[in-house]
Amino acid sequence: MTHESNTMCMNNIQDLNIEIEVLPLFDYSLNTFTKSKILEILQNPLVSTDEIRTRHKILKGFTANHKILKDYSYTSLYLNEVHRFLVDSTFADFSEKKIEFIFFISKKEKAHYVGALNQLILFFSRLEEYYFSRLDLEVFPDVFTQTLNRIVDFLSSFNLNNYANLISEGGLKNSHIFEISHTIMILRKGNEISNFWDDFFLFESYLSINLGLIKNEFAFPVFTNTGIKLKQLFHPLVDNVVKNDFKTSSNVIVLNGPNMSGKSTFLRAVGLCMYFGHLGLGIPASSGAIPFCTSFSIKINRRDDLHNGYSHFMTEINGLKDVVKQATEGNSCFAVFDELFSGTNGEDALEICRTTINGLSKFDNSYFFISTHIQELHDVSNQLVSTYYLDCELLNGNPNFTFGLKKGWSEIRVGRVLFEKEGLNKLLD
């Protein structure tokens, strides 16, 4: 099954807090270049299941090479110095005569230049000897094998083993310096230095992301057109998290339950599963089958848009309108609305929530998760709309939140219980 997206959709994913909360799950980078590349990957969902499956294979290739790469390391200062030398150094375009002239008039410049070449040779030699020459390339898909081969070819162009031995045995002679400089000049003219760094930081990004997948025990999902099925779903940032199984063939899911029962956490976990799945990453679940979507809108941290002068309610209205427009245009949407229309009065909220739930159910190629406190919506469930709640028990008059997901509707009134327990009924009588 292959899905293609013909429309570039604007995704509303600010509430996933990609840079603050998601990036640290995958950031084992050794430099700022790789960290920026990881963030770029996390901000851009893939546009087809073919691309997603290819990324799965790439990451699984890193798992297969984990024994070689588990101790991958170097001093970031060395990387920065080599990068700066190759990218910024004006020496790299100098001819042999110009270099000889500079060496003649300035011993300090010569020492600096030779030191930079030594650093380059030793740094690249370590990368080649301990990592890239040992990789099993056959476990990667062809498109990424080409990337790795470009890296290997670039490193090989420096004759690293020979020059590294010369450095350890007494240092580079002028003839060696000219040879290396000539190699750099040729590589730069062919734009191969810039291409190398792109390939290298992409390699490191996948390596870092794969470490995150392993450490967090994320699993690769499969894609299906028969609903959503998540086994042992969890939120990766919650300590002592309760894992839940979730399965639905409905395209509108209404989540209810009292405050503090875990509705927002559950919505975040589902949102991360769907979003990570479309990044081609593993998901926070032991297994998952999810639909392919082309548009994401995840609204959990509700806030007023003061910059544009909208109230909280109008922000909700406009967010819903954007999603409906996307769905009307034929896009497969995944949207989360946390406590929808809680910014208006109860009567209005009930009426327009009913209209919203019934209206969204007609978009059968999209999935909508809506949490609510409106008890009067308990009868909305039908073959296109499912209701779930996060369980809460009353033990000796105290709410006990189990955070377990159950199908149906919660009848627990925690607010009323706590109001009575604090004696407010008597005080206000």
Taking the chain (429 residues) in consecutive chunks of 10 residues, what is each chunk's mean pLDDT? 52 92 97 98 96 98 97 96 85 64 73 91 97 97 98 96 94 90 89 96 98 97 95 95 94 87 92 98 98 94 54 84 94 94 81 93 95 86 86 75 88 74 78
Q: What is the pLDDT of residue 6?
A: 43
- Residue 322's Cβ-count burial label (10 Å; 0-12, 13-18, 19+) is middle
User: Does the predicted model carry a pTM greater than 0.75?
Assistant: yes
Q: Which residues, at least 6 apart from 344, have a Cβ–Cβ distance to it below 8 Å?
A: 313, 352
| Domain residue ranges of the chain, discontinuous segments joined by + | 48-216, 222-428
SS3 content of the chain, % helix, strand, coil (to 5): 55, 15, 30
Euclidean distance between CA atoms 330 and 91, whole angstroms: 56
Q: Quick check: helix, strand or coil at residue 258?
A: coil
CATH superfamily for 222-428 is: P-loop containing nucleotide triphosphate hydrolases (3.40.50.300)
Q: What is the pLDDT of residue 93?
A: 59
Q: What is the pLDDT of residue 71?
A: 94
Q: What is the pLDDT of residue 305?
A: 53
Q: What is the pLDDT of residue 8?
A: 46
| CA-CA-CA-CA dihedral for 63, 64, 65, 71, to nearest 10 | 40
Q: Quick check: helix, strand or coil at residue 424?
A: helix
Q: Beta strands 252-256 and 333-337: pairing type?
A: unpaired
| DSSP states along 11-70 | PB-GGG-IIIIIHHHH---SSHHHHHHHHHHHT---SBHHHHHHHHHHHHHHHHTHHHHT
Euclidean distance between CA atoms 361 and 385, whole angstroms: 7
Strands (E), 126-198: none
Euclidean distance between CA atoms 194 and 101, whole angstroms: 28
Cα first-last separation, the chain? 65
> Letter for the amino acid at 332?
S
Q: What is the pLDDT of residue 150?
A: 98
User: What's the mean per-residue pLDDT of the chain?
Assistant: 89
